[in-house]
Structure 1
Amino acid sequence: MDAGFKAELIEWGVDWDEILDRFMGNEDLIARFMFKFLKDQNMNDLTKFLEEGNVSEAFKAVHTLKGVGANLGLKGFLTPVCELTEVLRAGSMEGYEPLYAQIKPKYDELIAILEKYQS
């Protein structure tokens, strides 16, 4: 794995020790799974369903994003993702805006890092 890539992921908020343990020390495997995150559509789905006011579908998208984020150690946005999951789980959209406003820019930063290093 490229040292710059690793450093940017850590700076963004990836819990490196956690995922290094989860992937049994295999940094190339970590990189492959990080790049697979580029194909994950849950953030796009979340945005769409929030705009539509579709609470149940928005919940499914954010809940899946939470799981993927946890598995990849994406702590840089995991707290607001978890909080938004609970808001939507309750069947409400009340108060989602500030949480989404924390999630989206961090997500975009991560995508920019991944795209920068994708070969």
Structure 2
Amino acid sequence: MDAGFKAELIEWGVDWDEILDRFMGNEDLIAKFMFKFLNDQSMNDLTRYLGEGNVSEAFKAVHTLKGVGANLGLKGFITPVCELTEILRAGSMDGYEEKYNQIKPKYDALIAILQKYNT
């Protein structure tokens, strides 16, 4: 794995020790799965369904994002993702904007890092 890529992921908020343990010390495997995140549609779905006011589909999307984020050690946005999951799980949209506005810039920054190193 490129040292710059690893450093940027850690700076963004990837829990490196956790993910290194999860992937049995295989940094190339970590990179492979990080790049697969570029194809994950859960954030796009979340954005769309929140815009439509569709709580149940937005919940499914954020719950997927939460799972993927947890598996990849994406601590840089996992707290607001978890909080939004609980808001939507309750069938509410009250306060979703604040959580979404915490998630989106962190998500965009992660995607930029992944695109930069995806060769």
Bin the TM-score by the shorter chain: over 0.9
Letter in 1 for 2:21: D
Letter in 2 for 1:29: L
1:35 aligns with 2:35: yes
CA distance in 1, matches of 2:94, 2:26: 42
TM-score, structure 2 as length reference:
1.00
1:4 aligns with 2:4: yes
Q: Which residue of 1 aligns with 2:108?
A: 108
Matches within 5 A, 1:13-28: 13-28=13-28
Q: Which residue of 2 aligns with 1:91?
A: 91
Q: Give the CA deviation at 1:25.
A: 0.1
Number of residues paired by the alignment? 119
CA distance in 1, matches of 2:95, 2:27: 38
Q: Give the CA deviation at 1:69.
A: 0.1
Q: Give the CA deviation at 1:60.
A: 0.1
Runs of 5+ consecutive residues of structure 2 not aligned to the other structure: none
CA distance in 2, matches of 1:41, 1:49: 12
CA distance in 1, matches of 2:78, 2:13: 9
- Give the fraction of aligned pairs with identical amino acids, expressed as a percent: 87
Q: 4+ residue runs of structure 1 moved beyond 4 angstroms? A: none
CA distance in 1, matches of 2:104, 2:98: 10
